[in-house]
């Protein structure tokens, strides 16, 4: 599925995260063939290994797989929430895509995170500070990217809340007084506050009621079309992947077992495991 053109936004190569102490056999004794991500010799856990893909500007990539397959690990590594074991990631708008962002200083990682990326977590408490108001949460993100006065911040915060369909008069209320769906909308507002070219969404509708899920997914789709932002959408739920994504990576036991156009994978899954996922959708 690799494209030859050079206009990628994010390029990921051999991204690997191992917990515990691996030995020289760990990578060869784990993965889909072994139905396990645990090394039988050392008990090291291969959360993900050898993950490579390119993401293009404005494209939506899905990462699907059952619980524990390594989906969150991939996006959390890319968002610098955790340290990689091995691999590289390049982001075109940063240093012309020449630097492995996973090996930059913490200061530079903060810059990249504040200006070039957004993250929406499954649990709103991971993405929002519940001691701040909803507007305060957005303000925090705006301030971290610098150069705004109080008036501008309030203006931008209300614009963002409006865009994500949160009643603007609730700007000074804390997220704890909001419904789950509304908390996710505030998280999305915060994540896109600085107009990043890249947004990660990790199981963002998983905890919500079905009717609320549908509305939040609609919002994400509208924002994507409106802003042209590239997204990596992580979900165990193929119906979410079907609704939002152009291309999909299927993960099992920390490895990519299949990748391709989402429509193609849904119509004609090649790998046994993808076939299982798709059959459960019908
Ligand atoms: P997913 O998001 O697909 O459910 P994760 O990326 O959260 O999967 O986890 C991948 C694997 O890594 C799982 O087997 C999980 O148990 C393991 N894992 C995640 N975090 C840790 C940790 N801090 N220590 C040890 N193993 C972990
Ligand atoms: Mg997860």
Measured CA to CA, the distance from residue 101 to residue 158 in angstroms comes to: 32
- Summarised one tens digit per residue, pLDDT across range 198-221 is 999 999 999 899 999 999 999 999
What token pair was written down for 177?
Answer: 């007084």
Q: What count of other Cβ atoms lies within 10 Å of the Cβ of residue 138? A: 29
Residue 11 has pLDDT above 90, yes or no: yes
- Minimum-distance ligand to the CA of 15? 1
Q: Which residues pair with 118 in a beta bridge?
A: 199
Atom of ligand 1 nearest to the CA of 66: 3
Whole-structure pTM over 0.85, yes or no? yes
Residues with CB under 6 A from ligand 1: 19, 37, 45, 47, 65, 67-73
Least confident of 4-13, 67-76, 251-260: 4-13
Q: Which residue's CA is the nearest one to ligand 1's atom 10?
A: 70
- Tell me, what's the pLDDT at 5? 73
Measured CA to CA, the distance from residue 74 to residue 12 in angstroms comes to: 10
Residue 7 has pLDDT above 80, yes or no: yes
CATH classification of 10-279, choosing from 3.90.1150.10, 3.40.50.300, 3.40.50.720, 1.10.10.10?
Answer: 3.40.50.300
- Summarised one tens digit per residue, pLDDT across range 77-130 is 999 999 999 999 999 999 999 999 999 999 999 999 999 999 999 999 999 999
Q: What count of other Cβ atoms lies within 10 Å of the Cβ of residue 216? A: 22
- When pLDDT is averaged across residues 246-254 and rounded to a whole number, the result is 98
Ligand 1 pocket test: pick from 68, 256, 257 the residue with the most ligand atoms within 8 Å of its Cβ: 68
Residue 1 has pLDDT above 50, yes or no: no
Measured CA to CA, the distance from residue 122 to residue 131 in angstroms comes to: 19
- Summarised one tens digit per residue, pLDDT across range 134-162 is 999 999 999 999 867 888 999 999 999 99
Q: Which residue's CA is the nearest one to ligand 1's atom 23?
A: 19
- Domain range list for the chain: 10-279
- When pLDDT is averaged across residues 248-273 and rounded to a whole number, the result is 97
């Amino acid at each position: 599925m690799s494209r030859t053109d050079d206009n990628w936004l994010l390029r990921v190569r051999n991204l690997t995260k191992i917990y515990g102490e691996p030995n020289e056999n760990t990578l060869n004794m784990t993965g889909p063939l072994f139905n396990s991500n645990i090394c039988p010799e050392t008990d090291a856990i291969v959360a993900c290994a050898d993950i490579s893909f390119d993401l293009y500007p404005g494209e939506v990539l899905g990462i699907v797989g059952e619980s524990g397959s390594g989906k969150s690990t991939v996006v959390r590594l890319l968002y610098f929430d955790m340290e990689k074991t091995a691999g590289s990631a390049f982001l075109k708008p940063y240093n012309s895509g020449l630097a492995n962002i996973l090996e930059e200083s913490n200061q530079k990682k903060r810059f990249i995170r504040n200006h070039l990326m957004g993250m929406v977590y499954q649990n709103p408490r991971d993405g929002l500070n519940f001691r701040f108001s909803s507007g305060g949460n957005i303000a925090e993100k705006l301030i971290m990217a610098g150069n705004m006065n109080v008036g501008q911040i309030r203006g931008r915060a209300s614009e963002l809340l409006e865009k994500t369909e949160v009643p603007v008069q609730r700007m000074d209320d804390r997220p704890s007084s909001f419904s789950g769906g509304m908390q996710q909308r505030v998280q999305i507002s915060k994540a896109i506050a600085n107009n990043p070219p890249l947004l990660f969404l990790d199981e963002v509708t998983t905890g919500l009621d079905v009717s609320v899920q549908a509305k939040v997914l609609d919002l994400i789709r509208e924002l994507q079309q409106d802003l042209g932002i590239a997204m990596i959408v992580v979900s165990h739920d193929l119906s979410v992947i079907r609704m939002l994504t152009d291309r999909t990576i299927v993960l099992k036991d920390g490895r990519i077992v299949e990748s391709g156009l989402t429509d193609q994978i849904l119509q004609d899954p090649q790998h046994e495991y993808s076939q299982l996922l798709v059959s459960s959708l019908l």
